[in-house]
Chain A
C-alpha cells in the first residue's frame, strides 16, 4: 500500500494508541490536517499552541498516556516552547509534532522557518528532525518510546513539508533499539537489602515522596510500605496524592510552603527515604540544614537526580514501583508495632498540633476558605488544576488529595497560564470528572483564549479565579522582603470576568462575601458548561507557613 508521509504519520500514531491530538494548523502541516479529515483520531483545535502543549500535558497527567500535539512550523513551533519546558521540568510524557519547511529550504531563512530542534534541545528529553521519508515510522516509534519510558518527558519531532507530502512505500517498525538509551527499572539487589536494614533499624524515619511515585504508578505500593512500617510520609508539590492526604501518617507537603510538621519531621528525622523526588531547592531550603542528622536513601529512575544536591547514603536507581514491590516482598509479614514508633509519632503529633495551616475568617473572602469549600462540596473527588502563585500553594495546602493523578500543577517551571489548558486536557481524558482550575487573576489571563476551546468542545471545566487584583505571590514577596513597595504587581484594570465568560459562551458567576462562596460553587457545578467563578478575595493575604528562600526549612514564618 502506498501512502503519503502524513498518512503514514497518522497510521503510526494509531499504532501508538493515540486517541486525541491537541493542535493548530498551518502551511507546513496541511497534509497532516488533510489526512486527519478522514481519521479516527480526534483533534481538539486550541486557540494558541502553548495551550495545545499544556492540554496534552494535562491529558497525560490524568490518563497516564502520552499526550500529543500538532502544530505548524515557525511561530507555531516556537509557541510550544513554554509548554515543552513545563512538561520537561515535571517529567510529563508528551510528543509534539511540528511542521517544518521543505527539506531543500532548511537553512535558507525560508518563510516560517525556525530551527525548532535547536531551540528545544535543552527543554525536551530528546528531539528529532526527520531528514528522510524512510525514517518516519522508526522516528515516531522511538519518540513515543522515549517519551513514556524511563524518566518520562517531552519529545519533539520536526517534520519537513516535503516528507509529509511524499507518497512512498513504507514499513512500520515494531522494535525499538536505541544503543545509548536503556533505562534501569530494577533496583540493585544489594542496595535494596541495605536500605531495608536501615529502614527497619531507624527510630525516626520519614518518607519524602515526589512526582516519580505518581509517574511510576507506585502509590499503592508506597501506601502499603508506609502503613506496614508506620512511617510518616511527606510529599512534594508534584507528589501530592501519591499517599492519601487524610491518613494520619500523612504530613502534607514539605518545603517553602510546607506544613510545620513536615518540615520539622524532615529536619529531625534519623532516616530520610526519598522516592521519586529530586531534592529541589524549593523543598530543601538551606542544604546544610536539610535532614542534617539523617541517613538518606534515595530511590529514583534518573541517576542524575541522585547526589545532585545532597549526598545520598544509599542510592537505588530504578522504577519506584518495582523497587517498592521488592521492599514489600522482603518485609513479608513483618509489621512494626505501633508502640515501637510511639515516641516518634507522638513527637510528630505535637508538631501537627500547631495547625500551621490556618487563616482568620473575615468580612472579605479568604482565598483559603474558597479552596476548603471546593474540597468540601466536591467531597475531594474533583480533578484540580492550578495556575502559579498563591492560588497554587493554597490549593496544595487546603485541598486534601487522596488519590494520584488528581492534581495538575506546574511544579518545576512554575508556568502561569498552565492550569486552564491543562484542565481542558484533563477533561478530555476524563469526560465525567469534575475538573476545576484554581486560578489567580493574573495567571488566568495568560491563556484565557482557551475558553473558546472549552466552549466549542463542551468541556465543562470550572475556573475559580481568586481575584486579589494583584500578582499575589509577587506582592507577597514585596510585602515581606521589599518593604511593601508594590512595584508593578497590582492591577488597576481587569476585564469583567463574568461578562468575559458570557462573551465566550460560557457562564460567569461572582462571589464577594464569604456566605456566597458555597452557593456559588454549587451553582457552578450544576451548570453543564464551562463556568468562570470570580471570588473577590482579601488582597493582602499571604501564604503561610513560609520559609524565606535559602533558609533552613525549620525556620518557618507562621501566621
Chain B
C-alpha cells in the first residue's frame, strides 16, 4: 500500500539525514519527500510518500516516532484522517508550429500556466494532486516532453466540514 505520511520535526541541521538514514538503513523506500519550515520556524514539516505492507508501514510510523527530533507523525492512510495533498510540476513541452493550440487547450483544462516561452518549448506550471499531474504528463507525452521537475507532495489534514 502507498501511504502519505506527514512528519513534524525540529528544524535543526541533520534532521533530514536522520529521517533519510532511517529509511535507507531499514530498507524502507521513499517515493517522494518534501520538507519546509512551518509557521513556527523552530519546526519543519516533511511529507513522505512511501510504500509497504501493513507491517512495514507500522514500523515506519513507529521508527519515525522513535527519532528524538520527530515531534509528530500522521499517517494519512491509517484511520479516518482526510487530507489535501498538492504538488507543483514544471514541464517543458516541445512545441511544433501546428500543436500550440492543442497544448494551450490542455493547459487550460488543467488550469496550468505557461511560465516561459521559447521558439521550440513552452514551460508549463501546473499544480494539483498526484493524479492530476500524472494525467497532464500523460497527455503531453505523445507531444514530446523535454524535461520535467516535480516538487513532491505537500499535505495538510482537512478541517471538519461545517454541519
Contacts and interface: CB of A to CB of B under 8 A. Distances in A.
A304 interface: yes
Interface in B119-160: none
B17 A121 contact: yes
B58 A180 contact: no
B59 A308 contact: yes
A303 B62 contact: yes
A146 interface: yes
A180 B9 contact: yes
Interface in B58-82: 58-59, 62-63, 65-72
Interface string A513-526: 00000000000000
A131 B9 CA distance: 19
Contacts of A131: 13
Contacts, number: 38
A181 B68 contact: yes
A118 B15 CA distance: 11
Contacts of B113: none
Nearest to A155: B68
Contacts of A178: 68
B21 A304 contact: no
Contact of B71 (A121, A180, A307, A308): A180
A122 interface: yes
Interface string B31-50: 00000000000000000000
A307 B58 contact: yes
B162 interface: no
A416 B58 CA distance: 34
B68 A307 contact: no
Interface in B1-48: 9-10, 13-14, 17-18, 21, 25
Contacts of A308: 59
A304 B62 CA distance: 5
Nearest to B71: A180
A302 interface: yes
B161 interface: no
A180 to B, nearest CB: 4
A337 interface: no
Nearest to A142: B68
Nearest to B14: A117
B151 to A, nearest CB: 25
A304 B63 contact: yes
B55 interface: yes
Nearest to B8: A180
B6 to A, nearest CB: 14
Interface string A115-129: 001100110011001
Contacts of A303: 62, 65-66
A410 to B, nearest CB: 20
A2 interface: no
A400 to B, nearest CB: 35
Nearest to B55: A307
A179 interface: yes
A304 B66 contact: yes
Nearest to A128: B14
A179 B8 CA distance: 11
A293 B58 CA distance: 24
Nearest to B63: A304
A302 B10 CA distance: 21
Contacts of A129: 13-14
Interface in A428-475: none
A131 B67 CA distance: 20
Contacts of A125: 68
A276 B63 CA distance: 18
Contacts of B58: 307
A373 B105 CA distance: 89
Given A304-B62, A307-B55, A122 B68 contact: no
Chain B CB within 10 Å, residue with most, of A118, A179, A307 = A179
B70 A304 contact: no
B67 A180 contact: yes
Interface string A491-510: 00000000000000000000
B22 to A, nearest CB: 8
Contacts of B63: 304
Contact of A118 (B10, B17, B62): B17
B129 to A, nearest CB: 29
A350 B35 CA distance: 61
Contacts of B13: 129, 131
Contact of B59 (A117, A122, A126, A304): A304
Give me the 3 closest cross-chain CB pairs, A-B, nearest first: A180-B71, A304-B62, A126-B68
Interface of B: 9-10, 13-14, 17-18, 21, 25, 55, 58-59, 62-63, 65-72
Given A129-B14, A180-B69, 17 more contacts: A117-B14, A121-B14, A121-B17, A121-B18, A122-B21, A122-B25, A129-B13, A178-B68, A179-B10, A179-B71, A180-B70, A180-B71, A181-B68, A303-B62, A303-B65, A304-B63, A304-B66
